[in-house]
């Protein structure tokens, strides 16, 4: 990414690039915009103003006066090169930032969105896993749609850096999936407060920080074209809708997440940002449950938690029987909820259960 981090007007990029997606794109189809330090021979050249709004206005005026360029150089900031995203797909051309996407639900969500035409950042503190997942998805969908980036959602600086890299690579963010989450079960009578605070920090504070850093970038797209809306989608849990025995740290963090979703939704709709949570039931096929060594099926079998169970399959059947629809939640179930929330233009602040009927709203 060159020496951009040291530039004095670096913060203008977060607003200039999303505006250029609109100015260099088609109606209702923002372009992808990639930053580069080198000049581009077909770029029009604009001087950066002290105030970023003035910079954007100068670019808008210059573009209106000439045939639409493919690139814009903003003196001292760099060159932004536009390309038109490739259709088709339900989220064609959208830029998605998915946290905790190296494995589990997050990896499945990233792959599903990329297969439907999105450009996806696989963001995870397991950077090797993130890069491998991004590479695997690119091979599966047969196009360079994903990049893997290192992100710790509890660390403001790491989020700022990853989101800036996203803006430099794609020009903005249309969909944030706040998926990274952890679980440490334990009785309130004995659970160390460090465990409680760890879960709270990732699941609750982490969601706050993700939105804090993404919202200004998403707002910049809406400011450039008020018809365009963007989406924050938090992967919550059925444990965000009803309590979970000896699992209070997790359930509390997820209940809190719904309070954040409702509050962010009220504030951010003025920026065209919809904010919703999805509350999946148990993902029995994911590593949390099915890891042969440390998965919950293996743990519950060893602990004798399910009376009469001889194998992990017996434990699984016991938990499946608790679901009216008789099975666990899958990645395609969650993806359908994501597409609904993105396509729905008249809903925000909701918590959408995807539990096979296990949890029903009042």
Ligand X SMILES: NC(=O)c1ccc[n+]([C@@H]2O[C@H](COP(=O)([O-])OP(=O)(O)OC[C@H]3O[C@@H](n4cnc5c(N)ncnc54)[C@H](O)[C@@H]3O)[C@@H](O)[C@H]2O)c1
**Residue with smaller CB distance to ligand X, 16 or 183:** 183
CB of 184 to ligand X, least distance (A): 11
Three-state secondary structure call for residue 60: helix
Q: Decide: is 106 part of the binding site for ligand X (CB under 6 A).
A: yes
Q: Cis bond leading into 354, ω under 30°?
A: no
Among 114, 149, 180, 275, binds ligand X (CB under 6 A): 180
What sign does the CA torsion over 334, 339, 340, 341 have? positive
Among 23, 95, 125, 199, binds ligand X (CB under 6 A): 125
Q: Decide: is 163 part of the binding site for ligand X (CB under 6 A).
A: no
**Residue with smaller CB distance to ligand X, 78 or 280:** 280
| Window of 10-18, 23-31, 286-294, 319-327 that interacts with ligand X by CB under 6 A | 286-294
340 tagged catalytic: no
CB of 320 to ligand X, least distance (A): 13
> In whole angstroms, what separates CA 107 from the centre of its chain?
11
Whether 175 and 230 have beta carbons less than 8 Å apart is answered as: yes
**Residue with smaller CB distance to ligand X, 84 or 150:** 150
Interaction mask 289-328, ligand X, x per CB under 6 A: x---------------------------------------
CB of 237 to ligand X, least distance (A): 4
Listed in order, strand segments (DSSP E) in the chain are 32-36, 43-47, 71-75, 78-83, 95-99, 119-124, 146-150, 175-178, 230-235, 273-280, 351-354
Q: Decide: is 288 part of the binding site for ligand X (CB under 6 A).
A: yes
Among 35, 283, 297, 300, binds ligand X (CB under 6 A): 283
Q: Token digits for 108?
A: 């499945």
Among 202, 221, 249, 335, binds ligand X (CB under 6 A): 202
Half-sphere exposure (CA, 13 Å, Cβ side) for 175? 30
Q: Decide: is 126 part of the binding site for ligand X (CB under 6 A).
A: yes
The residue annotated as part of the active site, out of 119, 204, 250, 300, is 250
**Residue with smaller CB distance to ligand X, 105 or 255:** 105
Query: In terms of DSSP bridges, do strands 43-47 and 71-75 run parallel, antiparallel, or are they unpaired?
Result: parallel
Query: Residue with structure tokens 């992100």?
Result: 151
- DSSP letters along 203-263, please? IIIHHHHHHHHHHHHHHHHHHH-TT--EEEEEE--GGGTS--TTBHHHHHHHHHHHHHHHH
Whether 23 and 63 have beta carbons less than 8 Å apart is answered as: yes
Q: Decide: is 337 part of the binding site for ligand X (CB under 6 A).
A: no
Can you tell me the distance from the alpha carbon of 330 to that of 287, in angstroms, rounded to the nearest whole number? Answer: 12
Measure Cα distances from 41 to 53, 114, 268, 331 in Å: 26, 31, 39, 45
User: By CB under 6 A, how many residues form the interface with ligand X?
Assistant: 30
**Residue with smaller CB distance to ligand X, 173 or 235:** 235
Q: Decide: is 120 part of the binding site for ligand X (CB under 6 A).
A: no
Q: Decide: is 12 part of the binding site for ligand X (CB under 6 A).
A: no
- Which positions from 209 through 268 interact with ligand X, judged by CB under 6 A? 235, 237
CB of 238 to ligand X, least distance (A): 6
Q: Decide: is 181 part of the binding site for ligand X (CB under 6 A).
A: yes
Among 36, 84, 103, 205, binds ligand X (CB under 6 A): 103
Can you tell me the distance from the alpha carbon of 25 to that of 301, in angstroms, rounded to the nearest whole number? Answer: 55
For residue 16, give the H/E element and its range: helix 13-23
- Site for ligand X, rule CB under 6 A: 99-100, 102-106, 124-126, 129, 151-154, 179-182, 202, 206, 235, 237, 280, 282-283, 286-289
> Residues with catalytic annotation?
250
């Amino acid at each position: 990414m060159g020496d951009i981090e040291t530039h004095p007007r670096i913060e203008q990029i977060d607003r200039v690039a999303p505006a250029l997606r609109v100015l260099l794109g088609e109606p209702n189809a923002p372009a992808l915009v990639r930053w580069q330090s080198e000049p581009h021979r077909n770029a029009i050249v604009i001087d950066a103003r002290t105030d970023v709004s003035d910079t954007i206005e100068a670019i808008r005026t210059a573009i209106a006066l000439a045939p639409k360029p493919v690139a814009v150089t903003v003196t001292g900031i760099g060159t932004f090169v536009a390309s038109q995203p490739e259709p088709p797909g339900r989220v064609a051309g959208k830029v998605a930032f998915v946290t905790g996407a190296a494995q589990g639900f997050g990896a499945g969500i990233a792959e599903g969105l990329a297969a439907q035409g999105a450009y996806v950042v696989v963001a995870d503190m397991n950077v090797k896993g993130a890069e491998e997942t991004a590479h695997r998805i690119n091979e599966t969908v047969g196009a360079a749609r994903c990049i893997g980036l290192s992100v710790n959602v509890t660390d403001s600086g790491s989020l700022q850096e990853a989101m800036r890299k996203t803006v430099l690579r794609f020009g903005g963010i249309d969909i944030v999936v706040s998926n990274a989450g952890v679980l440490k079960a334990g009785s309130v009578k004995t659970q160390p407060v460090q465990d409680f605070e760890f879960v709270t920090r990732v699941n609750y504070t982490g969601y706050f920080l993700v939105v804090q850093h993404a919202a200004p970038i998403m707002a910049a797209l809406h400011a450039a074209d008020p018809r365009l809306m963007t989406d924050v989608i938090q992967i919550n849990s059925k444990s965000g809708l009803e309590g979970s025995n000896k699992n209070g740290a997790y359930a509390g963090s997820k209940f809190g997440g719904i309070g954040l979703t409702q509050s962010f939704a009220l504030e951010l709709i003025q920026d065209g940002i919809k904010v919703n949570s999805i509350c999946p039931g148990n993902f029995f096929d994911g590593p949390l449950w099915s890891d042969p060594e440390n998965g919950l099926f293996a743990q519950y079998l060893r602990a004798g938690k399910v009376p009469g169970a001889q194998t992990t399959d017996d434990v699984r059947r016991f938990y499946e029987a608790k679901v009216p629809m008789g099975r666990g939640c899958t990645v395609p179930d969650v993806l359908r909820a994501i597409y609904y929330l993105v396509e729905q233009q008249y809903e925000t602040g909701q918590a959408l259960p995807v539990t096979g009927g296990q949890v029903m709203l009042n």
